[in-house]
Structure 1
Amino acid sequence: MNPLTPWRAIVRARLPVLPALFLICASAHAQQPVDLAGGFAQLGSNRLATRTVSLAELGIREPIVLHAPDARQELYLPVPAGVPLTDAALQIDGTYLRANGGRVTLLVSIDGSPVLANTPTQDRGDASAAVGVDGAPRKTGFVRVGLDWSSVLSDNLCADQTAIGNVWRIAPTSRLTYRFDPNAIVDLRGAWSALPDHPVVMLGSRTLGTPAFDAAWRTEALLQRDGRVPVTHALPAVGETVDLGQVDVPAPLRAIPAFAALAAGGSHTLANPAEVGALIALAPRTAFAPDVIVADDTLRAALKTSLDALRAQVASVAPNAGEVFDAWRNSVTGPLAAPLEPGEVRLAHPGGQAVIVVGDTSGVSVLARAWRPIGVTNRLVVHEIDNAPNTKGDEIALSLLGGEPRTLDVQGRATWDASFDLGAASGDGKLPGAVVLDVAAAPAANNAAQSASIYFNDVLIGSQLLNANGKPQRITARVPRYALAPVNLLRVVFERQPEGGCQSRGLGHPIAVLPGSHLTLTDAKVDDDFTGMVARFATNANLIVPAAYLQNAVATLPRVARLANASGIAPLRADLSVVPAGTSASPKGAFLAVDVPLADEKSVVHLSKDRLSLTDSSGTMLADISGLNRTSVIEAVKSGSVPGIAYTTVGDTPAILPATLQLTRGDVAIVDGSGVLRQFDTRHPGQVVDADNTEESDSPWSTRSWVWWGIPAGIVCFLVVLVLVANAVRRRNRDQP
């Protein structure tokens, strides 16, 4: 018997099955591209972004205390403009005191609608509350939260209802939490409003060219001016270790080696460009979650290399899946990889995220607060834009500085405010000289007195009783130089005397801030100090950095942006200069030099390694200290005859500057991560601030005025009296016989 006969028999028996097996394999091979298409379609789909906005993140770091008998506070919590919210909830952390007894009521409103009311009866207790928030889109980009506190000691007695022991305390941890779909963001304005408190600014690499560095520091400075704290990252590269967290890799994509390598999550070292491409495709929040991307040739080249390598792996697994990958690549990463036109800014959605892509300084300019409202499209190209200050004369409307004219309903107390950069209200040697308010107040039922108090950076600069007759009234308050800061808050507090007697509490009465309200600018002596430099920076600013800063842009960009804001430099009205190593800068106009030696520098600070010595203008030693580290010195200096500000790192480790850093009066500041440690005025030591410019000195009846004209007038009067007496004596002698 032929030994091959059994095998032939087996083969002949299986021959009818072979076509079916071939059909199954062919069918599986044909379905593979379809599976990969589904896998790529899953990337970024149904990926909701979660945001938590606390009062502390909005700058309210102290508890809000509402006092008896009535108090009201409104909070504006930011949300993405025009985007529906999911699972939105407001958590109010607070406590109450009811030491004086009576009936107390706390009321919470959302967008003007009451949603919660409590009447606690204990002497003290927990006033925390969780309130659901409607998910409807907010065109304004804010959820308005109203907090009302009322205290009534007795309904039957005619008595003063004031109770200092009945208060409601709202903690800074109170917060709004919500989720939203980033794909619902369709324009640049909405993307900016959706940025988190710590937005990620993504760079092409740690080393940047001058154009990319210029665009990046301006972007971070604008983010900081909006109260955000940007985090600078570079695009991950081969050899770097990234934290993938709990990354979700769709099952069909795990057949591709690069995706399979990332599927385990956790800490992972990128082994090849294909894994970088897979990381970009997956976009895990812990490793690749940009909010703003500064796109340059380096970033585009890195994207191309990594995505080309990933495509090669896709084609090796399923040759017919290349077209599927190309379609995904063009739709998702195309807006990142495609070159930008000069002045272009665009919106992209990589990995289910809303990302703003900028490329140069012209594109960044449209992200400024003044121009942001026009960003109602996913792509803008800036050909020319006016970023000059608003100061075209000696007056500037408060409406141009964020102080919108409006009517307030004042029951006991209400606040109107405007926040603006000093550079937007100064220039050509002029500084804010006076606040001029045009107001109109309606009369109260009992003719109760109403007043307006004006605060400039929490300095009371004027207060006046209002003519409560419904007619316009003008209030003028002088702005002292010492109250000026790079970022200023003008606050007007309207108060109405509570109604007395045995009558029910009346409703609020309207007080309007009218469009004629403005700042008056005056010619000022621009000193060589921090405030004087802010006035100079309004028209001309030169930012000077060393070339080494561009070699480590991830570490240096936040420092440059914070120094520019602290010094009063408007991000869109400055020129960047890069100084090569080993050379000194010779600026031609007002400047901010960051760790750069200056030619012919005139300074009162002397540094050597970790040692600092400081003298005043007369040469008297103020300090001579060594051993400093993680500190820096900021000083108003001169390079030749050109005034400016110089920042110098002390010690081996640079200070991590806080986003709240501001420079006020003086010319030398020692700073660290907590802010200004000590500030000096070496040019005017011991001088009284604004001694010759007080409101009293402007009055003809002031004490100083008496010194200047009162004494001469008295002498003249005395001489006149002597002449009159002499004439009287002469006449009397002549009339005597």
Structure 2
Amino acid sequence: MRMTTMAMLLLATTTPVWAETVTVSTTLADRGLTDGMLLSGRGAGTFYLPLPTGVDVSNVRVIMDGKAVTPNMQRGSVVVSVNGQPVEALRLREAQSAQNVALEALMAEGQSIRASGLDVRFRADLIAEAEACGYDYDPANTLQILPTTSVSFDVDLAAVNSVGDALALLPAEPTIVLGAPLTEAASAVGLQLARSLASRGYRAQFATEANGDDPVSIRVIESGAQTRLVHEAGKLVVEVASDVDVSALSRLWQAAPAALVGEVIEADSTNVAGTASVSGFWAAPALPGAVRVLQTADLGLDFGMLDVNGRVAQEARLRLTVAPDWSTVKPIVTIYLNGQLIVAQRAEVGENIIRAPLPQDLLQLSNRLTVTVDRAQEEGYCPGPNPGHAVQLLPGTGVAYGEGKPGGFASVGAALRVGGTVVLPADSGDEERLGYLELAARVLPGLGSGVSPLEVSFGDVTPTDGQAVIRIAESDAAGLSLPIASNRGRPDLTFSTDRPMASLVADAATRRLDVTVLEGQGVPDPEGVFLANGAEALIGDKGVIWQDTPTGTDPSLIQRVREASRGMRDVLRAEGLLWGGIAVGFVAFILVARGLIAQFFRRRSRK
């Protein structure tokens, strides 16, 4: 009896004061995979979800929504695995033009996972008829993992005791509570936090008070307090002081989220790995791991248009190693910049140094370099049964930046690396300012990543030398106009709509970006804003609707045709040949018509 009493007393002293088990759920679309995943032949796709380290999660559930198009499939299957452990599989019906695929994968009851993340992998085998190998694939057989596919798990919030672990549980659209009334200091910290979270795939929302059922939120508090984690009413709140060095905090989040241990954040402003050096070469701080290529595989690298000194990216330099393979044909390496092919060549066994010049008209302020490796095939060689052809990007892979003075949006992005101020209308209320702050949070990542100081001003401001100014204002439809230089007939195109829209106009000389919101229609809230090295753009809820590019591309093919015809008329008129050209054209039309009529009657007479 005494031992039982002692055991119960010991258990009571080690049990948390409160326990709150919540279910965290997210979808592929929430995490940026708005198109889902497309698997063909024998393909696999991975969805990664961060977890709090040192904390058990249970009831991991994957609900897969899919659509299979398999016109030439003899047998097929899809397997769902979590952290390398197969959880569920499904056999696909043979040779269907289209079929919906639904699969629920639930880990065994009582089984928990303690890891830094969930690695959910979808593996498809869509096998076509094959005589030589008996394991052949047809790229026409595809399985799309739809963006509505969801992953959920249960976690005890009482066991989460560090800021880093709490941040791992942030929803896809976390709430940053700024308090009421809004202050410039709290708005600046909130905007900087939203900017940092956007670089990690989150889409922050602003509020003056906590609302909703999110298990984790961020709250900006008065200056002088500590930045810490608070357990409050069964929820987790990360409190960030309004005078904290958010740029240092952002560096720490980007460099090592797991390093945020304890309740108090200790951060400094030192640089992190991957910052461009004085030499102008940026070595990628994180590279994808080795992959085994069965038929084809992609390796990705993200980089900015500008380095810390405002130089423009000129060349990608890749160190690619290829393991020996028993095919005598060399694999093909194809490099895409933002979806456009720029280099294709065969790779040698061993280390390959590949240089890929980056066309300036394809660069955006945030860029994606995709390296596709196609495994060779030849007669009597089958890539199916063996484990694959190993390839990997080695350290030293990166981007070379050359000298150059960027213009337009890029000049504002370069100035933001020094610092910047976001100016909101002085006469706006808190609700309007929340909308403006969210719009600024969508625009800032499109101007390039960075952790430089950022301020917010309610009213006008005198810019600091070298820093950028983003000024947000409202205007009626007449003020929402963008000059299109290539349209000589209509130098101004006025946009009028019943949907939220805003124009972006950058001035390279003053490093100023004017954001004009269409009055009375609300503030646009796009998923993301991706800008090229132009100076003007129009954005709405769907993102960038039109933008000026370095190549002078018009927004409409019809407009280009009209422009060409207008230019030809100008030339003819200038040479005094306009009416002569019309007359010649009319005579040619009569002669052609006369010939066609004569040919018609000759055929009739033969009959």
TM-score band, normalised by shorter chain: 0.7 to 0.9
> 2:585 maps to which residue?
none
Instruction: Mark the CA change 1:181 to 1:158 in structure 2 (over 3 Å): closer, same or farther.
Output: closer
Aligned to 1:381: 266
Report the counterpart of residue 208 of structure 2 in structure 1: 234
Runs of 4+ with >6 A deviation: none
**Counterpart of 2:437 in 1: which secondary structure?**
helix
The answer to whether residue 340 in structure 2 is matched with residue 414 in structure 1 is: no
By how many angstroms is 1:226 displaced? 2.0
User: For residue 295 of structure 1, what is the aligned residue in structure 2?
Assistant: 221
Q: Distance in 2 between matches of 1:173 and 1:115?
A: 19
- Please list, as runs of the form range in 1=range in 2, the aligned pairs for 1:623-638 lying within 5 A after superposition: 623-625=492-494, 627-628=496-497, 630-637=500-507
The CA distance in 2 between the partners of 1:188 and 1:139, in whole Å, is: 17
Change (3 A) 1:43 1:672: farther
Within 5 A, what are the aligned runs for 1:32-431?
Answer: 45-68=18-41, 70-124=42-96, 125-133=99-107, 136-154=112-130, 161-205=136-180, 207-235=181-209, 285-286=212-213, 291-296=217-222, 340=225, 344-360=226-242, 362-364=244-246, 365-367=248-250, 368-382=253-267, 384-386=269-271, 390-400=275-285, 402-404=286-288, 406-422=289-305, 426-431=307-312
Q: Name the SS for the 2:329 alignment partner.
A: coil
Task: Note the C-alpha offset of 1:626.
Answer: 6.7
Identify the residue that residue 362 of structure 2 maps to in structure 1: 483
Most deviating of 376-385 and 346-355: 376-385
Amino acid at match of 2:455: L
1:450 to partner: Cα distance: 0.7
Superposed CA offset, 1:235-286 (max 9, x none):
37xxxxxxxxxxxxxxxxxxxxxxxxxxxxxxxxxxxxxxxxxxxxxxx855
Whether the 8 Å CA contact 1:588–1:642 is kept in 2: the answer is no
Asked if the contact 1:188/1:347 (under 8 Å) is kept, the reply is: yes
What's 1:494 paired with?
373
Q: Which amino acid aligns with 2:491?
A: L
Whether the 8 Å CA contact 1:579–1:596 is kept in 2: the answer is no
SS in 2 for 1:565: helix
Q: Structure 1 pair 224/648, CA: closer, same or farther in 2 (3 Å)?
A: same
Instruction: State the SS of the aligned residue for 1:482.
Output: helix
How big is the shift at 1:466?
A: 0.7
Q: Give the letter for the 2:48 counterpart.
A: Y
Task: Provide the residue aligned with 1:672 in structure 2.
Answer: 540
Residue 592 of structure 1 is aligned with which of 450, 469, 482? 469
Flag the structure with higher strand content.
2
Give yes or no for contact 2:505–2:513 (8 Å, CA) kept in 1: yes
Preserved contact between residue 149 and residue 168 of structure 1 (Cα < 8 Å): no
Inter-CA distance 82–549: structure 2 relative to 1 (3 Å threshold): farther
**Deviation at residue 115 of structure 1 after TM alignment:** 3.1
**Does 2:408 correspond to 1:434?**
no
Task: Find the aligned partners of 2:117 and 2:427 in 1 and give their Cα distance.
Answer: 40
TM-score (norm 1): 0.65
Match of residue 269 from structure 1: none
Tell me the equivalent position of 2:351: 472
Residue 561 of structure 2 corresponds to none
Q: Structure 1 residues 360 and 131 mapped into 2: Cα distance closer, same or farther (>3 Å)? A: same
Whole-Å Cα distance in 2 between the matches of residues 101 and 562 of structure 1?
43
Change (3 A) 1:384 1:117: closer
SS at structure 1 position matched to 2:104: strand
Q: Are the counterparts in 1 of residues 424 and 436 from structure 2 also a CA contact under 8 Å?
A: no
CA contact (8 A) 1:204 1:296 kept: no
1-side partners of 2:259 and 2:69: how far apart? 47
* CA deviation after TM superposition for structure 1 residue 151, in Å: 0.7
Q: 1: CA distance between counterparts of 2:17 and 2:207?
A: 21
Q: Which runs of 5+ in 1 are unaligned?
A: 1-41, 237-283, 298-338, 598-606, 688-737
Q: Distance in 1 between matches of 2:139 and 2:232?
A: 55
Unaligned runs of 5+ in 2: 1-14, 555-607
What is the rounded CA distance, in whole Å, between the counterparts of 1:172 and 1:89 in structure 2? 16
- Preserved contact between residue 182 and residue 354 of structure 1 (Cα < 8 Å): yes
What SS does the corresponding residue of 1:220 show, helix, strand or coil? helix
Aligned residues: 529
- Stretch deviating more after TM superposition (162-171 or 383-392): 383-392
Task: Provide the secondary structure at the position in 1 that maps to 2:290.
Answer: strand
Q: The residue matched to 1:390 in structure 2 has which SS?
A: coil
Paired residues of 1:100 and 1:164 also in contact (CA < 8 A): no
Deviations 1:348-384 (A, max 9, x none): 1101212211013535332431253321222113354
Residues 500-520 of structure 1, C-alpha deviations (whole Å, 9 max, x = no match) = 427673321211211121211
Rate the CA distance shift 1:539–1:161 in 2: closer, same or farther, 3 A: same
> Bigger CA drift: 385-394 or 91-100?
385-394
Shift of residue 231, structure 1, vs aligned partner: 2.5
> Distance between the aligned counterparts of 2:122 and 2:227, measured in 1?
37
- Rounded to whole Å, the distance in 1 between the matches of 2:23 and 2:273 is 37
What is the letter of the counterpart of residue 338 of structure 2?
A: N
Counterpart of 1:448 in structure 2 is 329
Measured after TM superposition, the shift of residue 530 of structure 1 is 1.7
Secondary structure of the 1:53 match is strand
Q: Give the whole-Å Cα distance in 1 for the aligned partners of 2:403 and 2:88.
A: 53
Task: Pick the structure with more helix per residue.
Answer: 1
In 2, the alpha carbon distance for the partners of 1:362 and 1:427 equals 23
Shift of 1:102: 2.3
Q: Which residue of structure 2 aligns with residue 512 of structure 1?
A: 392
Q: Quickly say closer, same or farther: Cα 1:657–1:566, change in 2 above 3 A.
A: farther
1:579 is displaced (CA, Å) by 5.2
Distance, in Å, in 2 between the alignment partners of 1:609 and 1:97 is: 46
- Aligned AA (1:222): S
Quick one: distance in 1 between partners of 2:76 and 2:487? 63
**Cα–Cα, structure 1 residues 467 and 231, in superposed 2: closer, same or farther, change >3 Å?**
same
TM-score (norm 2): 0.78
Query: What is residue 533 of structure 1 aligned with on the other side?
Result: 412
SS at the partner of 1:72? Answer: strand
Aligned to 1:568, the other structure's residue is in SS state: coil
Contact 2:311–2:404 (CA<8 Å) still a contact in 1? yes
C-alpha separation between the residues in 1 aligned to 2:358 and 2:516? Answer: 32
Cα shift readout 1:387-420 (whole Å, capped 9, x = no counterpart): 79812223444432x335x322112112221334
Contact 1:116 1:131 in 2 (8 A): yes
Distance (whole Å) between structure 1 residues aligned to residue 88 and residue 273 of structure 2: 47
Name the CA shift for 1:532/1:87 in 2 (closer, same or farther; >3 Å). Answer: same
Q: What is the letter of the counterpart of residue 593 of structure 1?
A: I
Q: Which amino acid aligns with 1:466?
A: A
Instruction: Report the CA distance shift for 1:623/1:114 in structure 2 as closer, same or farther (over 3 A).
Output: same
Q: Distance in 1 between matches of 2:424 and 2:59?
A: 46
Instruction: Note closer, same or farther for the CA distance 1:542–1:231 as it changes in structure 2 (3 Å cut).
Output: closer
